[in-house]
Structure 1
Amino acid sequence: MALVSNNLSADNVSLLYVRQSEYQAADWHSTMHSHYFTELLYVIGGDGRMQFEAHSEVLKPHSVIVVNPYVRHTETSSTDRPLHYIVLGLDNIRLAKDELMVENFYHFTDTAGEILPLLKLMLQEASRQLQGSDRINQQLASVIVRLFIRANKIHLISPVDRVPRDGQLVKNYLDNHFKEHLNLDQVASALHFDKFYIIHVFKHAFNDTPMSYVIHLRLAASQELLENTDYAIGQVAMITGFDSQSYFNQLFRAKVHLSPSQYRRLHR
């Protein structure tokens, strides 16, 4: 079936940011998250992985990976060869092979070295902030998207219906802080939103309440720890943000229909 392209071209791309990151054990947070926009990541050096919900991609120098909107992901790094990359936030587009194949991500290797000089120029323009820098970077982002499309034989299609940006901001905050002892007042203070507005916008965007979503994240993280570590049940509860082991046990049994100990025995 032919792709419905909606007359999109790389000129539709809106550049949100360009930045570079390098693995530092002290401040690196590998937490699953998503964006309302498309993200392009170029590995300059080191080794790591792009982790998705049920899959991971190996990242090596000159890997280029584009993650479509609302796809949960995170980057992890080798400690021996720290990951170093440049990332672009690109709004108003997503990528697809055809209308029946909209993948979560697309991955290739920049063997010709076409993209890296453009990204370095973008970083230089962003740091100098001279007259016209934003316009230059916008045009460079469009060129990079064109090169990626040509290399992968894929197309641009219209973004999915946008989750309200405030709802996505709340979700991103919860994704990154759910292991802390959160309440709505703390979230409201951190984001400078009214807490009742937070409830409204999150419910509208994701058909769930913020604290119910936090519980979902904590339970998922606790299941991973039960499966893959030897932490005591109380430690698992503490690490994943539960106030007490008894509350953790009660909630885990209610949601998973097994006790944490039973779950661990079943999955080890």
Structure 2
Amino acid sequence: MNHPTSSADLLASLNTELIYINKSDSDSQNWIGLKHSHHFAELFYVTNGTGEFLVRDERLPIKKHDVIIVNPNIEHTEISDFSDPLAYFVIGLNGISFISDEDTVPYVRFRDPDKSILLYLYKAFEEYNAKQEAYLELCKHLVQVMLILILRKKHVSINVSATEKVPKEVALVKNYIDVHYKNNITLESMAEEAHINKYYLSHLFKKTYGVSPVKYLNQVRMNTAKFLLESTNYSVLEISEIIGFKSQSYFSQTFKREVGVAPLDYRKENRQKTRGPL
């Protein structure tokens, strides 16, 4: 694999597709992060707070001014300290992965990015939210310049790759569900987020992932509920509220339909498995 030898060559070779630029925070007592992956890379910049970043089975302490870039198809999540909640920017980038010492790595991490890097990051976020004429193309170029500035400072390179072809709108909605599953999400709100017709979104999402967006939302909520039943002492009512259900009874009905057992029975069975025979 040949890497570009100059910034000009690198800029010409970067055919990066910008999936999204979001600003997220975990300023909530009930913020739960479950491991997930994407077909594209993600760049995180922590603006406030402390916590941990989980990449596969590795736990990385993170704090303000940390930058972590996660390569495509790598399971990861963020865990926030309740006393000092995390806030961060995240950029989804399709078509690239990062390598170090000629090897592809799960993630790249560094601290205290230069002011010039942050200038392009904040400007890209501002443009993405303003959504003025040609904003996506402008954001793409701002992010590309930011990537070159990162490569100048760090011992990493970029592998420009032909990644899995997933429609941008579908990738955006999947990420929207992964992040906001505990909110009152509807097919209409998903379609509004992606700026496409809700029927077309449902068709495209199912074609890509094998399930409808509403079904995927339910899967994320049920997986979160199972995790909480296995690993916490939250009541069924608390869990139903955490994952976005307005009614405990409806949550219990949905859980039994999807998982096959009632929530408390699931907790009893799986905690016994974890502890092993007495």
State if a TM-score over 0.5 links the two structures: yes
* Aligned partner (choices 141, 144, 151) of residue 149 of structure 2: 144
1:187-226 correspondence runs (5 A): 187-188=190-191, 191-226=194-229
TM-score (norm 1): 0.69
Contact preservation (8 Å) 1:50, 1:76:
yes
Give the one of 102, 108, 120 matched to 1:106.
108
User: Residue 169 of structure 1 aligns to which amino acid in structure 2?
Assistant: L
Which has the larger displacement, 35-44 or 12-21?
A: 12-21
Rounded Cα–Cα distance in structure 1 between residues aligned with 2:68 and 2:241: 35
Question: Which residue number corresponds to residue 169 of structure 1?
Answer: 172
Once the 2 structures are TM-superposed, how far is the Cα of residue 201 of structure 1 from its aligned partner?
Answer: 0.8
Match of 2:163, SS state, is coil
Residues 95 and 163 of structure 2 are in contact (CA less than 8 Å); yes or no, is this contact kept in structure 1? no
User: 1: distance between equivalents of 2:21 and 2:92?
Assistant: 9
Q: Is the 8 A contact 2:68 2:108 kept in 1?
A: yes
Unaligned runs of 5+ in 1: none
Q: Distance in 2 between matches of 1:120 and 1:251?
A: 44
Deviating more after overlay: 174-183 vs 24-33 = 24-33
Structure 1 pair 36/211, CA: closer, same or farther in 2 (3 Å)? Answer: same
Q: CA separation in 2, counterparts of 1:19 and 1:190?
A: 13
Specify the SS of the correspondent of 2:54: strand
Q: Report 1:225-240 matches (<5 A).
A: 225-240=228-243
Tell me, in whole angstroms, the C-alpha distance in 1 between the residues paired with 2:122 and 2:238. Answer: 45
Asked whether the 8 Å contact 1:39–1:90 carries over to 2, the reply is yes
Residues 259/82 of structure 1: CA separation in 2 closer, same or farther (3 Å cut): closer
For residues 145 and 155 of structure 1, the distance between their equivalents in structure 2, rounded to whole angstroms, comes to: 10
Of 104, 117, 120, the residue aligned with 1:119 is 117
**Contact 2:26 2:80 survives alignment (8 Å):** no
Which deviates more, 201-210 or 10-19?
Answer: 10-19
Contact kept in structure 2, 1:237 and 1:248, CA below 8 Å: no
Q: Give the CA RMSD over aligned residues.
A: 4.4
> What percent of counterpart residues are identical?
27
1:264 Cα deviation (Å)? Answer: 3.5
User: Distance in 2 between the 1:56 and 1:172 partners?
Assistant: 22
Aligned twin of 1:262:
269
Alignment of 1:175-186 (within 5 A): 175-180=178-183, 182-185=185-188
C-alpha distance in structure 1 between counterparts of 2:67 and 2:15, whole Å: 18
Mapped to 1, the partners of 2:99 and 2:46 lie a distance apart of 22
Q: 2:258 aligns with which of 245, 248, 251?
A: 251
Deviation at 1:27, TM superposition (A): 10
Distance 1:237 1:18, change over 3 A: closer
Aligned mate of 2:44, from 41, 44, 48: 41
* Residue 43 of structure 1, CA deviation: 4.3
Change (3 A) 1:161 1:30: same
- TM-score normalised by L of structure 2: 0.67
* Offset, 1:217: 1.2
CA distance change for structure 1 residues 204 and 253 in 2, over 3 Å: closer, same or farther?
Answer: same
Which ranges in structure 2 are unaligned for 5 or more consecutive residues?
131-137
Secondary structure of the residue aligned to 1:267 is: helix
- Separation in 1, partners of 2:75, 2:183: 20
What displacement does 1:205 show?
Answer: 1.7
C-alpha distance 191-22 of structure 1, shift in aligned 2 (>3 A):
closer
